Structure 1
Amino acid sequence: MDTERRTPGQQVEQVRRFNRTVAEHVGVLHDQYLGGARPYGQARLLWEIGDTETHDVRSVRARHSGYISRLLRALEADGLVAVEPHPRDRRVRTVRLTDAGRTERAQLDARSQDLAGSLLHPLDPAQRTRLTAAMAEVERLLTASVVSVETLDPDHPDAVHCLRSYTAELGQLFDSGFDPDRTLLPDPGELRAPRGLFLLARLHGEPVGCGGLKLPADAPAEIKRLWISPQARGLGLARRLLSQLESRANDLGRKVVRLDTNRALEAATRLYRTSGYTEVPAFNDEPYAHHWFEKHLA
C-alpha cells in the first residue's frame, strides 16, 4: 500500500513499526549499548556533551527530557564528566568530559561506526543508496517535527539575535550591502502588538528562525524579516513560518498580505511564488526591493 493512501491510523502504526525496528537494530533496548558498560541514555549524553567543548547544563537539558539530571549524576559518579560552576557566573553550571569520558566516547564512536557498517554491508549498492536516502529524509522530518514556533517581543534577546543575523546575512548577499536604518522598517517595535507581531522558531531551545507581520491601519498586512538560520534550512521552516504569518493575518481580519524582496534572495522568491503569491507593481519605495508580491487569503 502506498504511504500516501494509508489512513491516519495506518500511518501511526507504520511509525511505531519503524521505531521498533530502529530500536532493535541500533541496540537502544540493551542495558549495555554497543557492548559498552552503560545503557543508551548515558552513552548518548556522552556524545551530546562532545569531546572538547564545555557546555551550559541548561542548554544540554533543553535538548532532552527531565531525566538528564539523573544521567549527569551517573556519569559524574563514574568520573566521565565534570559538572562545575561557570567561571564568570557561579549561578550557571557547566559540564565537560573528563579524560576518562573522552576515552569512553571514542570507544563508543568506534563501535557505532562498526554497527553502521554492519547494517549497510549485506545490502547491494542500490539498496544502500535507498536506505541512506530514506534515513536522511526521516532525519529531516523528525528534526522539523521538534521545531516550535512562538510569538515573542521583538526586543527579546532571542529575537534580537535573529534580527541581527538576518541583517548580517543580507549585508553579505546584497551587492550594495544592507543598512537596516535605510529600510522601511528600521524599528522592530513596529512588529509588536497592536501594530504587528513577531514569530520566533526554536530548535532544541535555540532560536533558528523568525518572521514578522506588520499591521498598518490603512493598508494590507505586510510580512517582514522572514529569516531561517543556515543550520535549520531544508526543514520546510520558512514555508511553515510564512503559513503561520498568513494565518495570524487572517485571524486578525486581514484578507490580503504583501511582501517585498531583493533579487539576490532567489530561494525566498521561489518560496513566495510557490506559496500562491502574485507579483504586483511596487506598493512602497523600499530601497532594497526588486520584487513586490501579494496574496489574497482564503
Structure 2
Amino acid sequence: MSGSTLEGVITFRAASPADPDAHELIVEYFAERASGFPGEYRPVLPGPDAFRAPDGVLLLIEHTDDDDATADRGLIGCGAIRRIADGPMGARFEVKHVYTRPAARGLGAGRLLMDELERQARAWGARELVLDTHHTLEAAAALYARTGFAPIEPYNDNPNATRWYGKTLD
C-alpha cells in the first residue's frame, strides 16, 4: 500500500478460525510473535468454535481499492473478541489475535479493527473489554492506549503476557 492512510474500502468479515484465510492470518501472527519473543513462546491455536456469536467473533480485515487495480489489497489483518467470566462491571469480553500485515501497519487498519471489535462487544452487552500482551509489543501498546485501554491487574495466567489492559464500556 502506498501513502500514509488506507485508501479504498475496508470491510470486516466474520470467520471461523478453521476458515483457510483466518487460519493463514493467525499462523502468520503466531510466527511473527515467536520470531521476536524473548524465551519460549507458547501459542495456542484457537479451535473452530472459539469465537462464535453471541459470545465472540473473529474478524478478518479486507481492503479493496477500486481506483487502482495494482494496489496492494485483500486480507490485511484479523482480530477477535470472546466472552470470558464476568468482571466487576458485568459482561467482560477479551480481545485476542489483533494482527495487521506489515504493509498495512501505521495506516489505521488496527484502529478500525479495534473500533469494530468494541462495537460488536457493545452490541452483545459487554461492560468491559480486556486484553493481555507482551511488553515488547510497543506499537500494540500504543494502539491500545489510543483506543482507550489502560493498564489493569492480570486477569489470567497467560505465560506469553507481561501486560494487561482494560477498558470500561459505558
TM-score by shorter chain over 0.5: yes
Q: Do residues 283 (structure 1) and 155 (structure 2) align?
A: yes
> 1 or 2 for the larger relative contact order (CA 8 Å, sep ≥6)?
2
After TM superposition, give the deviation of residue 236 of structure 1 in Å. Answer: 0.6
Gaps of 5+ in 2: 65-72
Corresponding residue number in structure 2 for 1:19: none
What's the secondary structure of 1:166's corresponding residue? Answer: helix
CA distance in 2, matches of 1:186, 1:177: 19
Larger radius of gyration: 1
After TM superposition, give the deviation of residue 155 of structure 1 in Å. Answer: 1.3
After TM superposition, give the deviation of residue 296 of structure 1 in Å. Answer: 0.9
User: Counterpart amino acid of 2:30?
Assistant: T
CA distance in 2, matches of 1:212, 1:144: 24
After TM superposition, give the deviation of residue 186 of structure 1 in Å. Answer: 4.4
What's the TM-score once normalised by structure 1's chain length? 0.49
Which structure has the highest strand share of the two?
2
What's the secondary structure of 2:84's corresponding residue? Answer: coil
Q: What's the CA shift string for 1:86-130, capped at 9, x where partnerless?
A: xxxxxxxxxxxxxxxxxxxxxxxxxxxxxxxxxxxxxxxxxxxxx
Q: What's the CA shift string for 1:237-277, capped at 9, x where partnerless?
A: 11110111011000111111000100111100111122211
Q: What's the CA shift string for 1:1-44, capped at 9, x where partnerless?
A: xxxxxxxxxxxxxxxxxxxxxxxxxxxxxxxxxxxxxxxxxxxx
After TM superposition, give the deviation of residue 208 of structure 1 in Å. Answer: 1.1
What's the secondary structure of 1:212's corresponding residue? Answer: strand
After TM superposition, give the deviation of residue 209 of structure 1 in Å. Answer: 0.3
Corresponding residue number in structure 1 for 2:4: 140
CA distance in 1, matches of 2:142, 2:28: 22
CA 1:156 to 1:296, structure 2 compared with 1: closer, same or farther past 3 Å? Answer: same
Q: Do residues 260 (structure 1) and 126 (structure 2) align?
A: no
Corresponding residue number in structure 2 for 1:238: 110
Q: Do residues 195 (structure 1) and 55 (structure 2) align?
A: yes
CA root-mean-square deviation:
1.9
Contact 2:100/2:110 (8 A) holds in 1: yes
Contact 2:17/2:23 (8 A) holds in 1: yes
Corresponding residue number in structure 1 for 2:42: 179
Contact 2:17/2:47 (8 A) holds in 1: no
Gaps of 5+ in 1: 1-135
CA distance in 1, matches of 2:166, 2:113: 17
Between Structure 1 and Structure 2, how many residues are aligned? 157
